[in-house]
Structure 1
Amino acid sequence: MGVTIHDVAARAGVSVATASRALSGQRGVRPENRSKVLAAADALAYQPNAVAAALRSRTTRSLGVVVPRIANPFFATLVEEVEQRLHAADRSLLLANSRYDPELERRQVGALLDRQVDALLMVPCHRVRSAEVLAEAAARVPVVQLDLHVDGPAASWVGVDNAAGISLVVEHLAALGTRRTAFVGAEPTDSAAQARLDGYRRAAPGGADDVLLGDFSKEWGQRAGTRLLDRAELPGAIVCGNDTIALGVLSALAERGVAVPDEVRVTGFDDIPYAALAQPPLTTVRQPQGAIAAEAVRLLTARWDGAEPVSQRTAIAPELVVRASA
């Protein structure tokens, strides 16, 4: 039989209740007793029973995270950033994938809540259809929207200023002397797609109506690139709604022997790890994922610690990363 809390208490010369409070970080334990308990636990290599601790404290010290597509390198990196910060706070993460399907998203959120997660970080896959399940979850546990958000007032949100990022790209292209641009993005079913499309239409000079919309995939980028190549004349630059679209566009251009950036410039958004490895390396907008993850975890930690549940919307400034494609 393994070491129990009773063994720790006996070695430290305190009651089992005192040992339990000391190990769980609760108040009401004298400093000298806390030191004795921690020393005894270390000497005995005591491993607390996480299930029993959860039953006593009515908390699982776990966080549910729902993302639209874990295969997307942006979401994979963002989840890793969140996990690192939770680990530092001695909390665990349970991950679910909605696949951009609001009905699957609803089931995944329900499954996480059934596992008694203490809070939820949600990247809502649809800016309208995700609102109901988000509100239902927020009535049960603290919820923060991450990266994407639903329309209208809802749970707190932390993400990047998408419109500002698109403006950085358009201004950079204008400074290079680019007169005509095209935008290849995703249908505005999620908030980022809508914000980047709106930002482009506000910032792009003259040709803001040259827009092709599909989804945030390399396959769509290839198809859109082919459509642009089949025109009588290429635009001076192709502004892409994210990096995976841009990678598809670059692939289509390479297949036709079109030189980037000599014949056409290409930009992305997100700065996923593959962006720097593209041929040529991709000029893009970097989302500060570490800062986004840190702020989201900070908001949830404040709720866990008993702070008033005030909804906040935090848009973090992006950064233009200039490489060889534009």
Structure 2
Amino acid sequence: MSATIRDVAKHAGVSVATASRAMSGERGVRPENRERVLAAATELAYQPNMLAAALRGRTSHTVGMVVPSISNPFFATLVEAVEQQLRDGDRSLLLATSRYDPEVERRQIRALLDRRVDSLVLIPCERTLSRDATVDAATRVPTVQLDLRVDGDAGSSVGVDNESGMLQVVDHLLDRGARRLAFVGAAPTDSSAQERLDGYHRAVRRRGEAEGAVLLGDFSTEWGHRAAQQIVAAGSVPDAVVCGNDMIALGVLDGLAAAGLRVPAHVQVTGFDDTPYAALSRPALTTVRQPQDSIAAQVVRLLDAESAQLRNPDAAQRGGPPQRIAIAPELVVRDSTRR
């Protein structure tokens, strides 16, 4: 069980009020008492209760956000969308990256909490290994998972309906005469990878078609290029390659071109996310657009709702279960599937 401020005060031999003032850096605390309190907090691994501080009105008007990477243009533009929503409410954003490492992610979350952010937006990098840090954060400040989420009940989340997006892609390709499909995605270590893989399987089976080759790696252009090489080396080139995101699709386009195959004349290719690069690729990429402004607006709305519940004890007692919001995506048809 986590140590409380009362435990720290008892360990340091001071009153709870003195311990609280020492931890918050307020004046009027003797230097020797402050040292004892800080030493006790370190020994007990005490983490300040940010929710209580917020209830006392000590808000920082900042929101912390942890993302796996900003080198992925989808995450970069999603950060901008969230920041714009916060700026409209006169709040600022503190950004940290986990580099797809759950341990780095845990440290970044703790660092943001130490900076006394009012709330957190998390894009968990792993479905299971990110769970403990996500659950712990949600007990300290209002926390919403964005785009990705951990397994189980770990608070509210906002993302896109990945399975709906895959259904639109598969229907689009089959309606245009494709019959032999292949799927190139990421290993299902995060929720989006799993949902897009599941969505592809269900969409193809729903139409009674063969699922074709399924190649799983990561969400990178490098993997997409290698996957295209594997597809060509297998000797039976499909009519279309369905990709788990735009970065993979860009790599597939490059790999197919290197093998002398033209898109879409020989093979159709689709992506997912509609990053800025999708429209700039040659050919321009057919993909699934995530409505990032709508997603960001829902994230901030949930954060505000949780914060309001904390300020209103009666509302907090009535607080309902965490919300899971999946926003409908839109298929954007471009040259990579136009025969």
Deviations 1:66-85 (A, max 9, x none): 11111100000000000011
Per-residue Cα deviation, 1:82-138 (whole angstroms, up to 9, x for no partner): 001101101110001011111111011011001000100000111111111011111
| Cα distance in 2 between the residues matched to 1:254 and 1:182 | 17
Report matched runs for 1:161-310 at 5 Å.
161-204=161-204, 205-208=208-211, 210-306=213-309, 308=316, 309-310=319-320
The answer on whether the counterparts of 1:164 and 1:318 sit within 8 Å (CA) in structure 2 is: yes
Once structures 1 and 2 are overlaid, which stretch shifts more, 307-316 or 117-126?
307-316
Cα offset, 1:297, TM superposition? 0.4
Which residue of 302, 319, 329 maps to 1:318? 329
Question: Is residue 65–residue 122 contact of structure 1 (8 Å, CA) maintained in 2?
Answer: yes
The one-letter amino acid of 2:290's match is Q
Q: State the percentage of identical aligned residues.
A: 62
The residue number in structure 2 matching 1:17 is none
SS at match of 1:300: helix
What corresponds to 2:33 in structure 1? none
CA distance in 1 between counterparts of 2:119 and 2:141 reads: 5
Q: What TM-score results when the alignment is normalised by the length of structure 1?
A: 0.82
SS of match in other structure, 1:158: strand
| 1:151, distance to aligned residue in structure 2 (A) | 1.0
Show structure 1 runs of 4+ deviating over 4 A: none
* Structure-2 separation of matches of 1:197 and 1:209: 13
Provide the C-alpha distance between the structure 1 equivalents of 2:101 and 2:255, rounded to a whole number of angstroms.
28
Deviations, residues 250-308 of structure 1 (Å, cap 9, x unaligned): 00111122111010000000000000001100000000000000000011112223354
* In 2, Cα distance between equivalents of 1:151 and 1:261: 38
How many residue pairs match? The answer is 273
CA distance in 2, matches of 1:243, 1:266: 10
Report the alpha carbon displacement of residue 209 of structure 1 after superposing the two structures with TM. 5.0
| C-alpha deviation, 1:157, in angstroms | 0.5
- Indicate conservation of the 8 Å contact 1:202/1:208, yes or no: no
Question: Is 2:167 the partner of 1:156?
Answer: no
Note the C-alpha offset of 1:154: 1.5
Task: Flag structure 2 segments of 5+ consecutive residues without an equivalent.
Answer: 1-53, 310-314
Q: Is there any run of 5+ residues in structure 1 with no aligned partner, and where?
A: 1-53
Matched to 2:274, the amino acid is D
SS in 1 for 2:254: helix
Partners of 1:141 and 1:304 in 2: how far apart? 8
Contact 2:181 2:212 in 1 (8 A): no
Q: Tell me if the contact between 1:182 and 1:207 (Cα under 8 Å) persists in the aligned partners.
A: no
Retained in 1: the 8 A contact 2:245–2:273?
yes
Shift of 1:57: 3.0
Label 1:275 to 1:124 Cα distance change in 2 as closer, same or farther (>3 A): same
Residues 40-81 of structure 1, C-alpha deviation per residue, up to 9 Å, x if partnerless?
xxxxxxxxxxxxxx9x83110110001111110000000000
RMSD of equivalent CA atoms: 1.4
Q: Secondary structure at the match of 1:232?
A: coil
Query: What is the rounded CA distance, in whole Å, between the counterparts of 1:174 and 1:264 in structure 2?
Result: 13
Name the structure 2 match of 1:40: none
Give the drift of 1:207: 2.8
